[in-house]
Amino acid sequence: MVSVHKFGGASLADADAVAHAVSIAKAQPPRVIVVVSAFAGVTDALLHGARRAAAGEERVLRETAASLRERHRDVVTKLLRKPEQRAVLDEIDAAMAELDALAHGLSILRELTPRTSDYIAARGERLSARIVAAVLSRAGARAQFVDGPDVIRTNEQFGNASPDLAGTDRAARASLLPLLRRRITPVVPGFIGATPSGEVATIGRGGTDLSATLIGRALRASSITLWKDVPGLLTADPRIVSDARVIPQVNPREAAELAYYGAKVLHPRALTPLARSSTPLFVRPFADPNAAGTEISARRTLTRYPVKALSAVTAQALVTVTGNGMLGVPGIAGRTFTALHREGVSVSLITQASSEHSICFTVPASSAEIARASLTAAFADEIARREIDDVEVESNLATLAVVGLGMHGTPGVAARVFSALADGGINIVAIAQGSSELNISAVVAEADLAAAMRRVHGEFQLSRLGGGAALRPEHADVVLLGFGQIGRTLAPMLGRARQDGSRVRVVGVIDRSGYVFDPNGISARRLAGLANDKARGARLSATHGGVAASTSDALAAISRHALSRPIFVDLTAEDTVTLLRSALGAGMDLVLANKRPLSGKLADAQALQETARTHDRRILHETTVGAGLPIIDTYYKLVEARDRVHRIDGCTSGTLGFLLSEIGRGRRFSESLRRAMEKGFTEPDPRDDLSGMDVARKALILGRLLGFQGELEDIELESLVPERARKLPLAAFLSRLEEFDDEWHARARSAQENGHVLRYVASVTRRRVDVGLQAVESTSPFAALNGTDNQVAFTTMRYQTNPLIITGPGAGPAVTAAGVLNDILALAAT
Ligand code: ADP
Ligand code: ASP
Ligand code: MG
């Protein structure tokens, strides 16, 4: 009984990973064949370097060669003893020296043929296989490197060669069986084979999966296992659908359909060699070798699920050929596809309206123009005679494939797909159902894809598939909008949270000038650098790696990536409602420190909440009221516990709190205000604080929680800026502060004489919101407030006579950033 074990590139990152792969291989029953990918990122690096060299930048490929040499040597020196290292190190040096030499040739020729590109890429797999073979031998197994071209035979199509099944069957048996008989474990580089003339050709990106199934087929293996960086084949790409689940078992036809329609987890043709074979294929987690993963086999399980999984192809364009003259004219469809075939354009989805008035089909966006040109040429006569109106191209589309064998014979599956999309306000551009009834495909705008996937995933309850726990993907990806004082305080906190094991990482930072984005996470060091640059007044667009863009373009660019559980954090003080709604639409949760979106027009605030509901996203905004204090959180906890909040009273301005407690101690107004300014407790123009506007916004946000239907203008607002000082230029106002001292002194004294102290208080109920100066009893909790502390009192059904009180520091970048961090972590954790 032979078993094939493939170790994917995503799993083979470093020496530890190689050692782990070897331990998995060793733990298998005898008669094992190991197939390996290149180490993580190596194929990309080789291809990128080769392209740059051919564009005249030979340096890039030489640097690639040098760094790959180090990387491979590092694994060897860590895992092998000195005498065993020699031969492998020589292989590495030779492969990289040759690459270095090729760099020069490419930059002179300025041409990279698919043949040469394959020759270059092949060394990634060849080196990793040599290394794994040596480490496996060192671990006590008898292992031997067997080159890919000795095992796999292909046609001549370099870059994406098709395997010759019969030829491969013969070559694989001839090269591998003798070793297995001698109890030797062959280690084979995946991804490559030999053309009829004996040259090395690659079989398409991700091709090691296919190498493994080809070998499994040839040797009639009892099982083939693909060890990957995911727990198995999932119901959807975990980077898009956060509650995606491992599918315990799927039929090969379902798996093939998923792979073909873009599920990156399997090479699209990996299952073809297994047609008519009964060899089961397993996708199992490299990180957890005891977990079962997914079995791909012909058994029928999970029959309650008509739909088992979703996948998607992005960067598609829809081409439509329309015209009245097409009616009943035979051969239009045939000519259309012949013309495309001639240009090598691959068509993935076709629909024809029954009126025969139009034919539409999707092609990769990169071929859209070629498709249009070839069709316009092919139908030149018909277009001239107006029998065909036009060939139209619509781009920025994606195809969502909904896959499951159980659709066959289950009525209404398509209807459920469409109503799930319609409920989410997602427009369907085109649809098609395969005749096999295995797949329903819907073409949607690329920007709607993530939401579409989540909707359909939810509709078919795929997060419950097979019992067990939903998969939580590794990270929550954070995008910061606004990189001022709070953003810069928050960035290092996020860096530390990540070090402490929280699964958050910052992937993007946006300011007015543009953005910085890295889908793999911006390192703590780089964030600190960006913060420094910003503190010195630089714009993000001008920093290293920064891109100039409007805020909405920046968001659009970032949301085109499949982020993991993205969280969009608004740290500005702008009107961002439209932008925030786009972020929700792109599947992001929101954290707001910005008060404006929720304290602007009621209709806008409601629209924002409504968008969050339709897209099933969450909005946390704790710091819009009391910086780091858990005020909104408390409100929701009370409501969840079925208490009813009647009113909320609060001193929610640190600035005014400081000022009034100073005045209460007998200090002069002018002096107190200047101290507040010195300590950085005020806005640049302290009248912005004194006007009460900031408190009014906070009060409005609280009021709206309670159901207050009014606008900012409906709030009774008492400004502390005397009428005559409102229009003065700032400098004039500041120079005349003493004029107001007597008035304040008198106010404070009269309050004191009545056993009261002055506080600036917001009083909020469902019906009205008041904000202004109050003389409160000196026994009231508000009287005891000190400095910039905030305090909020909830009067509820249960806390009737003795309100529930929350007190603490309510202003300043550090506590605000900490509050924002709390919200982010809360979203990331659930
Ligand atoms: P390998 O290391 O074997 O080459 P890949 O990187 O090719 O592995 O495939 C695994 C990746 O595929 C995962 O990291 C995951 O992000 C992605 N993926 C996309 N769709 C799915 C899905 N439905 N199930 C599992 N993984 C998926
Ligand atoms: N190394 C190749 C790639 O990155 C093949 C593979 O990993 O399967 O596409
Ligand atoms: Mg792969």
Position 240 scores a pLDDT of 85
Q: Which two tokens stand for residue 445?
A: 């705008």
Gap between the Cα atoms of 535 and 22, Å rounded: 49
- 537: Cβ contacts below 8 Å, ≥ 6 apart: none
- 519 pLDDT band (50/70/90 cuts)? confident
Position 284 scores a pLDDT of 95
Per DSSP, the residues of 130-159 read HHHHHHHHHTT--EEE--HHHH-BB-S-TT
CA distances from 265 to 210, 232, 407, 468, 606 (A): 12, 9, 23, 21, 40
Catalytic residue among 78, 534, 698, 727, which? 698
Q: Which two tokens stand for residue 284?
A: 């199992």
Gap between the Cα atoms of 256 and 261, Å rounded: 8
Q: Decide if pLDDT at 469 tops 60.
A: no
Q: Is 698 a catalytic residue?
A: yes
Gap between the Cα atoms of 202 and 193, Å rounded: 6
Q: How does pLDDT run across 215-263, given as a tens digit for each residue? A: 999 999 999 999 999 899 999 988 888 888 999 999 999 999 898 888 8
Q: Decide if pLDDT at 475 tops 90.
A: no
Q: Among 93-97, 345-349, 513-517, 607-611, where is mean pLDDT lowest?
A: 345-349
Which of 228, 247, 295, 456 to mutate for ligand 1's pocket (most ligand atoms within 8 Å of CB)?
A: 228
SS3 content of the chain, % helix, strand, coil (to 5): 45, 20, 35
Question: What average pLDDT score do residues 180-204 get?
Answer: 97
In 3D space, the residue among 299, 305, 339 whose CA is nearest the CA of residue 319 turns out to be 339
* Three-state secondary-structure class, residue 750: helix
Gap between the Cα atoms of 304 and 464, Å rounded: 11
Q: Among 127-141, 307-321, 491-505, 762-776, where is mean pLDDT lowest?
A: 491-505
* Three-state secondary-structure class, residue 281: strand
Q: Decide if pLDDT at 562 tops 70.
A: no
Q: Which residue has the higher pLDDT, 411 or 310?
A: 310
Q: Decide if pLDDT at 155 tops 90.
A: yes
Q: How does pLDDT run across 689-719, given as a tens digit for each residue? A: 899 998 999 999 999 999 999 999 999 888 9
Q: How does pLDDT run across 362-386, given as a tens digit for each residue? A: 999 999 999 999 999 999 998 998 8
Position 411 scores a pLDDT of 79
Question: What average pLDDT score do residues 445-450 get?
Answer: 92
Position 425 scores a pLDDT of 87
* For the ranges 138-152, 418-432, 601-615, 711-725, the one whose mean pLDDT is highest: 138-152
Pairing mode of beta strands 185-189, 619-620? unpaired
**High-pLDDT (> 90) share of the chain, %:** 62
Q: Supply the mean pLDDT for the chain.
A: 91
Position 25 scores a pLDDT of 97
Instruction: Fill in the DSSP letter of residue 469.
Output: P
* Three-state secondary-structure class, residue 645: strand
* Three-state secondary-structure class, residue 268: coil
Position 802 scores a pLDDT of 87
Q: Among 323-337, 449-463, 636-650, 703-717, where is mean pLDDT lowest?
A: 323-337
Q: How does pLDDT run across 271-283, given as a tens digit for each residue? A: 999 988 889 999 9
In 3D space, the residue among 616, 605, 626, 506 whose CA is nearest the CA of residue 563 turns out to be 506
Q: How far apart are the CA of 189 and the centre of ligand 3, in A?
A: 13
Position 235 scores a pLDDT of 94
Ligand 2 lining (C-beta closer than 6 Å): 9, 37-38, 43, 124, 190-191, 205-208
- Of all ligands present, the nearest one to the C-alpha of 44 is 2
**High-pLDDT (> 70) share of the chain, %:** 97
Q: Decide if pLDDT at 298 tops 80.
A: yes
Q: What is the 3-state secondary structure (H, E, C) of 342-397?
A: HCCCCCCEEEECCCCCEEEEEEEHHHHHHHHHHHHHHCHHHHHCCCCCEEEEEEEE
Atom of ligand 1 nearest to the CA of 228: 3
Sign of the torsion formed by the C-alpha atoms of 253, 254, 255 and 260 = positive
Question: What average pLDDT score do residues 738-757 get?
Answer: 90
Gap between the Cα atoms of 345 and 513, Å rounded: 39
Q: How far apart are the CA of 784 and the centre of ligand 1, in A?
A: 58
Question: What average pLDDT score do residues 618-631 get?
Answer: 91
Which of 264, 454, 474 to mutate for ligand 1's pocket (most ligand atoms within 8 Å of CB)?
A: 264
Which of 5, 44, 48, 208 to mutate for ligand 2's pocket (most ligand atoms within 8 Å of CB)?
A: 208
Q: Which two tokens stand for residue 388?
A: 């065909």
CA distances from 151 to 22, 130, 187, 465 (A): 21, 15, 11, 38
Which conformational region is residue 390 in: left (phi greater than 0), alpha (psi within -120 to 50 degrees), or beta? Answer: beta
Position 431 scores a pLDDT of 85
Angle among Cα 398, 400, 401 to the nearest 5 degrees reads 140
* Distance, CA of 70 to chain centre: 31
Q: Which residue has the higher pLDDT, 424 or 122?
A: 122
Q: Which residue has the higher pLDDT, 348 or 85?
A: 85
Position 372 scores a pLDDT of 93
Q: How far apart are the CA of 399 and the centre of ligand 3, in A?
A: 21
Q: Decide if pLDDT at 435 tops 70.
A: no
Q: Which residue has the higher pLDDT, 36 or 681?
A: 36
Ligand 1 lining (C-beta closer than 6 Å): 8-11, 37, 206, 226, 228-230, 233-234, 236-239, 263-265, 309
Gap between the Cα atoms of 765 and 193, Å rounded: 74
